[in-house]
Structure 1
Amino acid sequence: MASRLQPSRAILNLGDEFYDSVTAAEFPQTILRFRNDRAAAEVGLEGLSNEEWVRHFGRFAPLPGSLEAPLALRYHGHQFRTYNPDIGDGRGFLFAQLKDDRGRLMDLGTKGSGQTPWSRFGDGRLTLKGGVREILATEMLQALGVETSRSFSLIETGEALERGDEPSPTRSAVLVRLSHGHIRIGTFQRLAYLRDAENMARLVDYVLVNLHDDAPGDPVRLLRNVVARAARLAARYMAAGFVHGVLNTDNINVTGESFDYGPWRFTPTWDPGHVAAYFDHAGLYAFGRQPEAIHWDVMQLAVSLRILADAEPLIEAIDAFADLYQTEVTRALLWRLGVMPRGDAEDRALVQALEPALRATDTPIDRFFFDAFGGRLPERYGEPFAAARAALEPYRPRKDRSHAYWSAEPCSMLIDEVETLWSAIDTRDDWAPFHAKLREIREMGDALA
C-alpha cells in the first residue's frame, strides 16, 4: 500500500442513523478496464499493482485504516419536483474515505456494487456502457473546468444484465468514483422529514468542518457556502455546454461538485431547450433551465434547515444565488474564451453580446470557443458576431495558443461519438478508440488549464 495514503473514517462520527452497513456483490469476473492514475496519485494510491487494484476496487477488500465495511448512505429527495422518501444508495456504497494531496476529505464511492436496503426492485448492478459513459462525462467536464467527481476505476464483472431501455442482455461493470463527499441536499431533506434536529445539527457540523473547511455550528453559513458553490456549478455547466439530465435534490452534492451521471449530453449549439433525458418531456432540466433547477434544489436545503434556523437569514442566503450566478457564469465564459477579466461591467457586457449571437446562429459551441480562444474571433464569424467581436477586442489572452492542442481540431463529446466509442467496445471489444479519446480530452484539459 502506498505510503502517502491518508485514510479516514470521518463519516463514522455521524453515527449509524446516517447509513447501513452492506456487503459488496461477488462478481463472476473482475476485468480491469480503466484505472485513473492521475486521480490515484492525488490520494496516494497510484503505486497499487493491477492485482491490488482489482482486489480493492473489484472485490472491495478494505483499504487499511479506512472503513472496515461499506456503507449505503440514507437520503431522500425531490425527483423531478416530486418528493420521494424511499430512496438511498441503491446500487452503490461508500467504500472508503481518505485525504487528497490538498488535505481535503475524499470519498471512494461505488456504482453497480450490488444490492442494498435501498435497492427496491433493482438488481444493484451497472451496465458496462453506463460506466464507459460516466468516464467520458467526468473526463470531459474536468477538462472544461467543471468541479466533478472523478471516475476512478472501471472493472467489467462478467454478468449479463437485462435492461428495458437498451439492447439486452448487456455487459456489466462496477465503477468507483472519487468525490469530495457524498452528502447531498437530500441527506438534509431526510432529517427534516423525520424532524430530527439533533442529527441535523450533527450533519451541519460534519459538512462545515470536513467538506467546507469551516467552523461548526452555523446552518446559515452552511447554506451560504452551498449557494455559492451551487451557483458556480450551474455557471460551469453552461460554459461547458453540458446538460446533466437529472438535477434532482438527491443528485446535488453540498460541496458543489457535479456527480451521478445517468442521462447526460453536451449540447452541440447554444440551445436552451436541449435535454439529456428522454423522459424529461417538460424540459425541466433542459440546458437553459439548469441554473433555475439548481437554485430550486438549493431552496429545498433552506427549507430543510428551518428546523435549526430562522427563515429570514436563510431567505437572504438563497436570494444571493442570482447575483452569484451572474458573476460565476461571466467568469466561466471568460475562462473558456481564454482571456483575462477587465472589470465587472465590461465582462458582463461581453457575455451579453456573446450569448445571443451563439443562440441565434446555431454555432457549434466547441468550435466557437476553440476558434475564439485568446480573444481573437476569426473574420468568418460575420455580422451576427459583430457586437461580440467589438466587446472582445480589448481583452488580453490569459494563455497563448502554443500548446499542440491548438494545431488540431476542437475536442467535443457529442452523443453520436459516445455511441461510436461504445459500439467499438460492444461489437469488437476494441477499447483503443475509447482510450485515444481520453488522451485527446486530457490534452485539451492541459491546454485550457
Structure 2
Amino acid sequence: MSEFHPATTILELGPEFYDPVRPAAFPQTILRFRNDRAAAEIGLDGLSDAEWLAHFGRFQPLPGSLETPLALRYHGHQFRTYNPDLGDGRGFLFAQGFDDRGRLMDLGTKGSGQTPWSRAGDGRLTLKGAVREILATEMLEALGLLTSRTFSVIETGEELQRSDEPSPTRGAVLVRLNHSHVRYGSFQRQAYLQDADALNRLVGYALRHFAPDASGPSPAAALLDHVVTTGSRLAAQFMVAGFVHGVLNTDNINITGESFDYGPWRFAPAWDPDFTAAYFDHHGLYSFGRQAEALQWNAFQLAGALRLIAPLEELRPALEAFPDRYQAALVTAMLARLGVASGPDDTGLVRAIETALTTSRMNPDRFWFDWRGGTRRGASPADAIYDGDAFAAFRAIVPAYAGPPPSHEYWSDAEPCTMLIDEVEAIWAPIAAADDWSALHAKIAAIRRMGEAHSTS
C-alpha cells in the first residue's frame, strides 16, 4: 500500500477560476463501486469502506488536500454555439494528489449537488448514468485509451425525476480520477472576459503541471502544440476503439487529451461514419466519422482564445499540424489494436482496414479479435466476409505484418469482449429490477481480462 501525496495546486490560479461549494447531504451512502486499482496509484487503496464513504459520499476532506470543494468556472461551445453560462453544475474538484508516476491528479465529482453553475438542474446523477460511466471508462482503459477512470460510485438513496428515462429513478454520486479537469472552455472564459493576466496564469499552470516538455515560440504556442498532439491522438483512439463520445463540446475536452464526461456514448456496431450516440445530435455533428473534425475544430476555438495573449503567426503551425498528427496517431493506434509492429506500408495497411470495415459493415471488435497479431485466427462467424472482396486489399498486405500468435488465453475465446448498447441495458436491467449487481461485476472482470490480453500480447 502506497501513501497519499496530497496537493492543492489549483489554488495557484486564484479565486476567479472557481467557486467554493458545499456538497449535497444525501439520505444514504451505499457503496456500489470502488476502484482499488486506480486508488492504489494515488495511495488511497488502504481506506476502509467506512473511510471511503466518508470521503467520497459525504466529502470529508482528504488530509492535506483541498479543504473545500471547488466548482470550476469555464465557458464552451456546445454543438458549436458559444455558451458563457457554464461551469461545474453538478460536480466539483474535490481533491488533488500525485500518482505513483509523479503526475498531478484530480478527483472530481458528478452528481454531488447544486453549485452556482447548476442553472435549472438539480445537481444530481442517476445511478444508471453512473453504471454507464463505469462501463465506458473500464472498456476504454482496457483498450488502451487515455480516459478518466471511474473511481467511486455511491448510491444516495434519492429518487430523481428525469425526462429521458423511467422516473423516479435512483440517484448516485460518482468520483472520477483525471490527470486534469482543465478544459478548452477554461481558456475560452478568460478570453471572453478579456482577462489577459488570468489567461497567462492558466497557460502557465497548464504547462507546469501537464505539459512541462512542451515547446514553442511562446507559452501559448507551446500549449496549443501540446493540445493539438493530445487532441489528434484522442480522435484516432476513438476511431480505433469504435467509440462515439457523443458530446465533443469544448467544455468536455481537456488539455491532457483524456476522454471524460460520459453522457450518451456508444460503441459503434459497425464502422459507420454516420453513426451517432446522442439522440439530440440531429445533424450528426459528433458522429463516429466526424470526431477528428470535431476535435480539430475545438483546437481552433482554443487558438482563438489564446490570440488574446499570442499572435496568430505563433499559433498557426500547431493548427496546421493537426491532420498529419491525426494520421500518424491513427497508424499508431491501429497497429497497437491489431497487435503488430510497424511494417513496410503502414499507411496502406490502415487504408485497407478502413476500406474493409466500411465496405463490409461488420463489427469492428470482431475484426480486431479475429486478426490479432496479423494472422487470421481459427474459425469465425465472419469467415465468409474475410474471404470476400471487401477484404481483398487487406488480405494482400497483412502477411507482411504477421507475427507470433498472441499468447493470452483471451484470444482463444469464442467471442470478443464488446460493449454494445444492448449489453449495457442488459447489465442495468437486473440492478433496476432486483438490485442484482452480479452482471456488472462479471462484465468488469471480463473487460479487465481483455485489457490484460491487450497489454501482454
**Short-chain TM bin:** over 0.9
Counterpart amino acid of residue 121 in structure 1: A
| CA offsets 1:410-430 (integer angstroms, 9 cap, x no match) | 000000010010111000110
Counterpart position of 2:99: 100
Shift of 1:3: 5.7
- Among 418, 434, 442, the alignment partner of 1:436 is 442
Counterpart position of 1:68: 67
Residues 375, 402 of structure 2: 8 Å contact kept? no
Counterpart position of 2:301: 300
Counterpart position of 1:131: 130
Q: CA separation in 1, counterparts of 2:164 and 2:45? A: 36
Counterpart position of 2:222: 221
Q: CA separation in 2, counterparts of 1:3 and 1:36? A: 15
Q: CA separation in 2, counterparts of 1:420 and 1:441? A: 16
Counterpart position of 1:401: 406
Counterpart amino acid of residue 353 in structure 1: A
Shift of 1:377: 2.9
Q: CA separation in 1, counterparts of 2:128 and 2:35? A: 18
Shift of 1:299: 0.6
Q: CA separation in 1, counterparts of 2:439 and 2:241? A: 23
| CA offsets 1:386-414 (integer angstroms, 9 cap, x no match) | 210111111143x7422121122200000
Residues 209, 215 of structure 1: 8 Å contact kept? no
Counterpart position of 1:42: 41
Q: CA separation in 1, counterparts of 2:405 and 2:84? A: 51
Q: CA separation in 2, counterparts of 1:214 and 1:30? A: 42
Q: CA separation in 1, counterparts of 2:402 and 2:361? A: 27
Matched, 1:445 2:451: yes
Counterpart position of 2:334: 333
| CA offsets 1:222-245 (integer angstroms, 9 cap, x no match) | 000000010000000000000000
Residues 2, 42 of structure 2: 8 Å contact kept? no
Q: CA separation in 2, counterparts of 1:245 and 1:391? A: 33
Q: CA separation in 1, counterparts of 2:138 and 2:104? A: 21
Q: CA separation in 1, counterparts of 2:397 and 2:336? A: 15
Counterpart amino acid of residue 40 in structure 1: A
Shift of 1:382: 1.2
Matched, 1:58 2:31: no
Counterpart amino acid of residue 431 in structure 2: I
Matched, 1:411 2:417: yes
Structure 1 residues 200-349: aligned runs within 5 Å: 200-214=199-213, 218-342=219-343, 346-349=345-348
Residues 192, 304 of structure 1: 8 Å contact kept? yes
Shift of 1:213: 2.5
Residues 350, 392 of structure 1: 8 Å contact kept? yes
- Runs of 4 or more consecutive aligned structure 1 residues displaced over 2 Å after TM superposition: 213-217, 377-380
RMSD: 1.2
Counterpart amino acid of residue 21 in structure 1: P
Shift of 1:319: 0.7
Identity %: 64
Name the stretch that deviates more: 377-386 or 312-321: 377-386
Report the secondary structure of 2:71's partner residue: strand
Q: CA separation in 1, counterparts of 2:442 and 2:412? A: 17
Counterpart amino acid of residue 288 in structure 2: F
Counterpart position of 1:390: 396
Structure 1 residues 57-206: aligned runs within 5 Å: 57-206=56-205
Report the secondary structure of 1:438's partner residue: helix
Counterpart amino acid of residue 343 in structure 2: R
Counterpart position of 2:380: none
Counterpart position of 1:16: 15
Counterpart position of 1:371: 370
Residues 377, 389 of structure 1: 8 Å contact kept? no
Counterpart position of 1:361: 360
Counterpart position of 1:425: 431
Number of aligned residue pairs:
445
Counterpart amino acid of residue 428 in structure 1: A
Shift of 1:215: 6.9
Residues 214, 226 of structure 2: 8 Å contact kept? no
Counterpart amino acid of residue 398 in structure 2: L
Residues 214, 225 of structure 2: 8 Å contact kept? no
Matched, 1:27 2:33: no
Report the secondary structure of 1:374's partner residue: helix
Q: CA separation in 2, counterparts of 1:438 and 1:428? A: 19
Shift of 1:321: 0.3
| CA offsets 1:130-153 (integer angstroms, 9 cap, x no match) | 000000000000111110000000
Q: CA separation in 2, counterparts of 1:369 and 1:359? A: 14
